[in-house]
Amino acid sequence: MKLLDGIRVLDLTNVLAGPFATLHLALAGAEVIKIENPIDGDLARKLGIVTEYNKKLMGTSFLAQNANKKSLTLNMKFEEGKEIFRKIIKTADVIVENFRPGVMARLGFSYEKLCEINPKIIYCAISGFGQTGPDAFKPAYDQIIQGLSGVMAVNGDERLNPLRAGFPVCDTIGGVNAAFAIMGALYFREKTGEGQCIDVAMLDSIMPYMGWVAANLLIGGQQPALMGNDNFTAAPSGTFSTKDGYINIAANKQEQWHDLCDILGVSDLKGDPRFKERDTRKKNRKELTPLIEEKLKEKETKYWAEVLNAKGIPSGEILSLEEALNQPQIKHRETLKTINTPGIGDIPLFNLTAKFNKTTAEVETPPPTLGQHTEQLLSEFGYSDEEMKSFKEKGIV
C-alpha cells in the first residue's frame, strides 16, 4: 500500500502554494481531485516558458506541480455545480483551497457548512497572511511575502541588497507547511475520529526557516549582517576562488580548520592570534579569505573538492542548475522520474524526495489535461450520460 491509500483530497487550489501542497499528498498516494473552472482551469496552465504548452493549457508551471492528480471541471456559481460539489464532499477526506479569506463562505462552503455535510472533513486554507489579522485580506504573491518576511533583507551583500531568492521560496515553503499540517490532521483524525480546520499563511510559514538568523536577533540582539556567500556561523565557511572558478568550503569545526591549513600548506595560520579560535576567525574573515584563496588559486575546483572531502572537510563545486539536475547523486536517488505526457511527450518530474522502505511515493501519472477525469468522476458519483451532457451545455462542467 501507499502512505495515503484510500485518502481522497479535493484540490481547489491555483498556481503554486496550494498545488505544491496537494502534489505531496498525491505523490504519497492520495487520490487528489483537482477541481477547476471549465474555461481555462488553474492559472498555472497558462504560465511557463513554452508558449505552445501554454496554449494547450499545459504550461510548464502546471506540469511541475500536478502529477498524479485528476482534473474535474466544475462551475460552482451554478446551483447544480454546488450540488455536485456537495455530493463529492461527502466522499472526501481533505479539502484544500488557496482563495482569499471569505471566498469559500461566499460560495456557501464555509468550514461550518462543510462540517454539516461531512463532519470528519479536514479543511486546509492556504493564503498569504492567514484567515485573520490586519493584513488577512491583502493580495499576496511570493515576491510580496519575500519582502515582508525579511528574506530579501538578509540576502545579498553591501553591493546588492535587498535581494530575492532565485525561486518562489515562500510559495513552496507554504505548500510544504500545508502538506505537513494535513498529514498531522489525518493522524489526529485516525486517533480521535475528528476532522479540523487548518489555517496556513505563507508569511507565517517562511519565518521559522530563518531560525538561526532570527534567533541571533530575538535572543542575542544581533542584527543580521550582509555577508553574501559567507556563512556567519563559522570561518572559513563560504565561497572561495580557485584556479578555474569557485568552491564552497565549510570548515566549521576546529579540527576541519586545522586540516584545511595543513592541506593548503599554511599550517602557520593555526597559531596566528587572528585565526586561532573560532570566534576570532569569524571577526577576521576579511583578512583570512585572501590567504586561503592565494593557495586555492593554484589548482582547479574539482581537485580541491576531492582532496578536501576525502579529509572530511565539507566542500563542493557550485553547479549550474542544469549540472545540478544531472549530477550522478540525483540520478542515483531517482529524484526525477520521466513520465510520458500525451500531446507533449516524455518529461522529467520530481518524485517525493523522502525515501520509504515499505511504501512507494513517486510520479505514476502525468499532470491531467483540463477536465480529463470529469466524466469518469461524475459517473462514479451517480450522474447519467444525459445529466453530464446537460451540465456541459450549461457550462457547469
CB burial of 244-278 (b: ≥16 within 10 Å; e: otherwise) equals eeebbbbbbeeebbebbbebbebeebeebeebeee
CA nearest neighbour of 339 among 330, 350, 329: 350
Decide: helix, strand or coil at residue 143: helix
54: alpha, beta or left, given left = phi > 0 and alpha = psi -120 to 50?
Answer: alpha
**In this structure, what C-alpha cell is assigned to residue 109?**
462552503
CA distance 232 to 226: 9
CA distance 203 to 66: 24
Contact status, residue 266 vs residue 258, Cβ threshold 8 Å: no
CA distance 100 to 362: 31
Residues designated as active site: 171
CA distance 283 to 276: 11
CA distance 397 to 384: 14
Secondary structure, 3-state, 82-133: HHHHHHHHCCCCEEEECCCCCHHHHCCCCHHHHHHHCCCCEEEEEECCCCCC
CA distance 352 to 363: 8
**In this structure, what C-alpha cell is assigned to residue 143?**
515576491
**In this structure, what C-alpha cell is assigned to residue 60?**
510548464
CA distance 315 to 327: 16
β-pair partners for 339: 347
